[in-house]
Amino acid sequence: MKTIKFKGKNTIFLNGIEYKGYNVGDLPPSFGFIKKHNGFDENGNDVFKQGKNNWFNYKGLTFIEAPLKW
């Protein structure tokens, strides 16, 4: 059974994983793709930027897994 705990207005925990909620106009630039070509490194190898491709909508917000905090 999935559990939802509210930490704040825009932050929830779903099964122990933190998600941050965004309005549609405030989504981060890494939203909506798996990988994006980001040029070449000094050796001529392709460099890719990782995106956020998993999300869900709840109560008018789009929730994306929050980045890890060290």
**Residue 22: band (very low, low, confident or very high) from pLDDT cuts 50, 70, 90:** very high
Residues 9-24 have a mean pLDDT of: 89
Would you state the pLDDT for residue 69? 52
Checking if the pLDDT of 62 tops 80, the result is: yes
**Residue 68: band (very low, low, confident or very high) from pLDDT cuts 50, 70, 90:** low
**Residue 70: band (very low, low, confident or very high) from pLDDT cuts 50, 70, 90:** very low
CB 49 within 8 A of CB 35: yes
Which of 34 and 20 is assigned the larger pLDDT? 20
